[in-house]
Chains A and B, each alone.
Chain A
Amino acid sequence: MTAVTTPSAAGHQAPEPTGASAASTARTGRTVLARSRHPGRRHAPWPRRAVVAALLLGASVVFLAPLVWLLSASLKPRPEVFNHRLLPDPVAWQNYVDVFEAVPLALWTLNSVVVGLAAAAAMTVSSALVAFGFAYFRFRGRDALFTVVLATMMLPGVVALIPTFIIWQRLGLVGTQVPLWAGNLFASAFSVFLLRQFFLGIPRELFEAATVDGASSWRLFRSIAVPLSWPALTIVFVLELKASWTDLIRPLIYLQDTALFTLPLGLKVVLDQFGKGGEAEWQLVLAASVIATIPMVLVFFVGQRFFVEGVATAGRKG
């Protein structure tokens, strides 16, 4: 956090910030290092850097405050939840014990893990197949079909909500967890788009050489395309895991049995029972919120570059 405010990188350059004069006078090793780290980028004078740092730190405090408050308040005893002190004193670990006893939180977590893994795996496998079909093969109507893929990306999901529900109802699967992930077996426009971009980047000679050696197109997919595309496949996997983990509307529509709930629906039940208009046991609601939030934050920290890269790719198609 302090790196921006330390003057080490900026201060020494302040007197001669720009142009050829800086290059001629700046013969210290540090400046050379700084310049080579940012080729073509000149450092701003330090007052401006200080302002930038202050603004970024301020914004970070605003963005982190709700999460810090959540974590802190979830560890406070009931009468102190709203005292807004940064550190809980005493620390009420008991809240977490209580909430696991009050509701089947462990079961809901397990459900979320199972459904999330199934949803992410189904999406990754199906989208990889479809993306390879669009990237490797050349057939009549391919580009027209791919335009349809791109067009469906803009469809509002709400329109399909009701008929999709009716389909699962006719299949007798309402009340089971199947509708929460099985739709992912049919790929999604965004994942196909992302993976196709990646497959197109693989040199075609690799496929052609393998074909000469008699490889089938399945082998091209399985032994060349997939092994070379782990980063892209991981992006699809983590983004889909996040989508499934945070989804409320499908569990809300399809599940009635408490034992099948995933965490978001469970958390909503906890809120309605212990929170507003309920028993005002907010420390339990907050502990449950932390439980629902932490796993995805951990996944995010581990797989951060995949999240960021995936989201940035979404922007590049604009």
Chain B
Amino acid sequence: MTSTTTPRPPVHQVPEVADDTARAARRRQRRHTLEALAFISPWLIGLAVFTAGPMLASLWLSFTQYDLIESPTWVGMDNYAEALVDPTLHIAMRNTVLFTVLSVPASVVLSLALAVLLRQAHRRTAGFFRTVFYLPAVTPPVAVGVLFLLILNGQVGLLNRVLGWIGIDGPNWTTDPAWILPGIVVMSLWSLGTSVVILYAALLNEPVDLREAAVLDGAGPWTTFRHVTVPTISPALFFVTVVNTIAALQVFTEVYTMYFGSQASSASDAALLYVVYLFQQAFQYLNMGYASAMAWILFLVVLAITLVQLKVGNRLVYYEGGDR
């Protein structure tokens, strides 16, 4: 009885003990498993009711027409066929892809640059600057939207005022359809504090002797950075890229705040992102079936991109301690 009172599963000890002890051990193990299930039950219920269930439900809804009032009617592939020819959806897709392609590389490179700068500074001053870079990330996105609607304003905005000091006549960021998306990219770069914090934490874990060995071997700063620092932090770099990509494809709040809502704006088309259009279809036009199809298309795209990134990442990312 001595060692079997520990919560370790006693299964492996069963053959060596007498028969009734074995039964008692099995009973304990069953009780142990039941208790474990009780502890994780909130997540199990959540998985069924708020994750797996809704996923399957929305897959089914995507083959129906449903306006929340009448019961859903089966329409087969109609919603997906509609998605192929819906010109507004194509605008939303193009805007979203363009935004992602512009914002993700820029924000990863800029975050890395800021994180490297932070490492060069004293530990304590680095803490201060890290706080400054992270502050925009605790600003509510609606407030960010309000703020940048004004800062990006072509006539009175702060950005064009500053550009004016260096002789640049800034564009109408919030009204000129050609400049609305770049303006949104600028806004997204302001909120990259989370990536900076992650990359800085990764940089602090880089073994100093590794870099010093490279320097002793005559490697310059760029070579050291490229061949020592980047490989060491590549898991974090990879994580930041994946997460930023998934987030960029789903940007909603700031853009909805700036260009949509009760006041229809003429600039809407240029700012129409995928999730904004999905929201309109679902909750303004009550096309739940079509919106569900859009949600599933987005899900499959995100899945595909994540898998490709994982595959590429496996080749590029260096995990300490060999394969994982």
Contacts and interface: CB of A to CB of B under 8 A. Distances in A.
Interface of A: 1, 3-4, 9, 37-38, 40-41, 44, 48-49, 52-53, 55-56, 59-60, 63-67, 69-70, 73, 82, 84, 126, 129-130, 132-134, 136-140, 142, 145, 148-149, 152, 154-167, 169, 183, 185-187, 192, 207-208, 211-212, 217, 221, 242, 245-246, 248-249, 252-253, 263-265, 267-268, 271-272, 275-278, 282, 285-286, 289, 292-293, 296-297, 299-301, 304, 307-308, 311-312, 314-318
Contacts of B199: 315
B151 interface: yes
Given A132-B39, A292-B140, A318-B236, A211 B53 contact: no
Contacts of B147: 66-67, 69-70, 289
B181 interface: no
A221 B39 CA distance: 10
B126 to A, nearest CB: 8
A65 B239 contact: no
B296 A272 contact: no
B43 A149 contact: yes
A139 B32 contact: yes
A137 B39 contact: yes
Given A40-B209, A84-B161, A142-B36, A312 B201 contact: yes
Given A59-B133, A159-B298, A312-B201, A66 B158 contact: yes
Interface stretch (B18-26, B85-93, B99-107, B256-264): B256-264
Contacts of B14: none
Given A84-B161, A272-B261, A155 B51 contact: yes
Contacts of B9: 138-139
A246 B141 contact: yes
B7 A41 contact: no
B143 A318 contact: no
B7 A296 contact: no
B42 A159 contact: no
A264 B123 CA distance: 35
Interface string B228-244: 00000001101110110
Contacts of A299: 138
Interface of B: 5-9, 32-33, 35-40, 42-43, 45-47, 49-51, 53-55, 57-58, 61, 68, 114, 117-118, 120-125, 128-136, 138-143, 145-151, 156, 158, 161, 190, 193-194, 197-202, 208-209, 235-236, 238-240, 242-243, 246, 249-250, 252-253, 256-257, 261-263, 265, 275, 278-279, 282-283, 288, 291-292, 295-296, 298-299, 302, 306
Interface of B is mostly: helix
A49 B120 CA distance: 8
A162 B55 CA distance: 9
Contact of A162 (B132, B236, B291): B291
A271 B149 CA distance: 10
Contacts of B121: 4, 52-53, 56
A221 B131 CA distance: 34
Given A66-B151, A69-B151, A315-B236, A186 B257 contact: no
A307 B138 contact: yes
Contacts of B197: 308, 311-312, 315
A84 B262 contact: no
